[in-house]
Amino acid sequence: MVIDVKSALELLRSSELTIEGRLVDASNASLLCTLDDGQQAIYKPIAGERPLWDFPDGNLASREVAAFEISELGGFHLIPPTVFRDGPFGEGALQLWIDVDENADLVAFAQSEDAQLRSMALLDAILNNTDRKFGHLLLATDGRLSGCDHGVTLHSEDKLRTVLWQWSGAALTQTELDQLTELRQSIDSNLLRQWITDQEIAALQRRISRLLETQKMPEPSDDWPAVPWPPY
């Protein structure tokens, strides 16, 4: 189902949140909510976050929102509509819930060469995603792909960890290079400064420039684990 992003953002910002329960597998507080129109969303209050020694600046919720904004600016549209707002347990991120295909073999799909996955791999390189697991890929019943859990992205140091390495070192297409060029030109530092630091914004711009200079997908580093653990 194609999402009307503008309408979804308005709904997320204005709805009264009815807490339905907690996602017990999440390492930080992730609360399932019902919105005014009956749709569901995931509310992640800052108060429910555990401190991370390697992400001392900001908070998970703000990086979730920044990742969504960058996905939209770059024309990826791979992250569900996400806003920063107050809620029953204080300020946090609120993201539209995506119904997934429960019958899909997610691990097999994630190791394929589906074009949506390649786009996700490129977005993760831009975001410096340290935690792209199989379980963070949302495959809807209509085949559309989204990604969730972007709270540990956008660090100023290179930390890319992902299960999507099938395009490692592959040459970027002209369409991807054009997409990166447009994203670099459209980065709004004033917008992103609400969510991440100036140092992290500068690092984001460097990553985009590096991709344009090398004209290829990133390769695993020998300096840190290439795959998050556990991978699911």
Confidence (pLDDT) at 24: 79
pTM: 0.96
pLDDT tens-digit readout, 153-207: 999 999 999 999 999 999 999 999 999 999 999 999 999 999 999 999 999 999 9
Cα separations in angstroms, 50 against 45, 85, 156, 198? 11, 19, 20, 23
pLDDT tens-digit readout, 100-110: 999 999 999 99
Whether residue 1 has pLDDT greater than 80: no
Domains of the chain as residue ranges with CATH: 5-214 (1.10.510)
* Residue 46 to residue 58: CA distance in whole angstroms: 10
* Residue 126 to residue 23: CA distance in whole angstroms: 28
